[in-house]
Amino acid sequence: METIRFDNPEYLILLVGLPALLLIFLLGQYLKGKALKQFGNPGTMARLMPWRSYRRPWIRFVIFLIGFGCVSMAAVNPKVGSRLEKATREGVDIMIALDVSRSMLAEDVRPNRLERSKSAVSRIIDRLEHDRVGLVVFAGNAITQVPLTADHAAAKMMLRPVNSQSISVQGTAIGSAIERAMASFPDDEGNAKVLIIISDGENHLDDPVEKTRLAHRHGITIHTVGIGSPEGAPIPVYEDNRLSGYLRDAQGNTVITRYDEATLKAIADAGGGIFQHGRGADMGLNRIVDEIRKMEQQEYEAMIFTEYESRYHYFVALALIFLVLEIFIFERKNKWLEKINLFG
């Protein structure tokens, strides 16, 4: 299976211009129609302007939009993996367990705890070099979102859609996340194994410290990163992507989710790792990566793409075709073409 990566992903923002251009076009068409109505009845105006076309402006605009989209993709420069080879690498197996419970939507960290955590994880994956990385997401239970892989671009791609609906069972079960991470590691006793847990620490459903001791006996080092504020924050509730209020308990009181540092410190102590309070852009993950670098790295074999081929030139060619075609389509009907009758 080929893999795709973007050379300049920051230019994907140009695609946001497509709906903006559509809105501008619709507004222009509306104002143009409104202006024509001031001169007379639409039916009368149509007889007075027989060469005016209602469809051609739309055709030209759609062709222009496609051309603009192709230019945007050419700037992004998609690259396709062209050569897959077996390679021997040295690194550490790292599973990241990310809390996606509703409490992670609290906005005492901007934009919210979950989005800040995802951003930090994405940055840290870029620092992992030849380490294999995987992702577990958890709330009331846990699932493996990304199995251990040396393909960091794929791991980051699978991280992006993660949200508070990724787990249907609500609550926070850190112990379940530890169990899932343990099952995600290979059975090889010699491999260095690390689990990084990122959470606000609120645990309601199990005993994570006992599960941590079990994981540590199996050779897994567990680090923790806490995110949130001690004073806490309400949990926003969204309907149709709009804020509709804040979560309330059975008595109608607004639920305040508070960052539980003690639990996360206890897990790190039992797991032979370190605890970091998630401050700054990296949320303390840089220090954890530095600790990982001190571990003995193990060899492993992986199938990796060693060469990538750019595909921007296809989009450049398509853009030229559509933009030139747009130039040659006139908004008015062509009276000479109207006289052509191929079927007599």
The per-residue pLDDT for range 51-96, each reduced to its tens digit, is: 566 777 888 899 999 999 999 999 998 887 656 566 666 789 999 9
pLDDT band at 344 (very low <50, low <70, confident <90, very high): very low
**Residues 146-167, mean pLDDT to the nearest whole number:** 90
| Residue 163 pLDDT exceeds 80 | yes
Residue 147 is given by DSSP the state: E
| Residue 342 pLDDT exceeds 50 | no
Burial tier of 280 (Cβ tally within 10 Å: 0-12, 13-18, 19+): exposed
Three-state DSSP state, 289? helix
Contact (CB, 8 A) for 292 and 194? yes
How is 118-134 classified by DSSP, letter by letter?
Answer: HHHHHHHHTT-TT-EEE
Which tokens in the block code for residue 266? Answer: 């206890």
pLDDT at 343: 41
| Residue 45 pLDDT exceeds 70 | no
pLDDT at 259: 85
Distance set, CA 26 to CA 59, 62, 255, 322, 333 (Å)? 13, 12, 44, 21, 21
**Residues 166-193, mean pLDDT to the nearest whole number:** 87
**Residues 269-286, mean pLDDT to the nearest whole number:** 91
| Residue 311 pLDDT exceeds 60 | yes
| Residue 204 pLDDT exceeds 80 | no
Strands (E), the chain: 4-6, 78-91, 93-99, 132-138, 142-149, 193-199, 220-226, 233-234, 236-239, 242-246, 256-257, 272-277, 298-310
pLDDT at 34: 76
Domains of the chain from N-terminus onward? 4-77+311-338 (no CATH), 83-302 (3.40.50.410)
Average pLDDT, the chain: 84
Burial tier of 7 (Cβ tally within 10 Å: 0-12, 13-18, 19+): middle
Cβ neighbors of 221 (< 8 A, separation 6 or more) are 192, 193, 194, 195, 271, 272, 273, 295
CA distance 110 to 228: 10
pLDDT at 301: 60
What predicted TM-score, i.e. pTM, was given to this entire model?
0.68
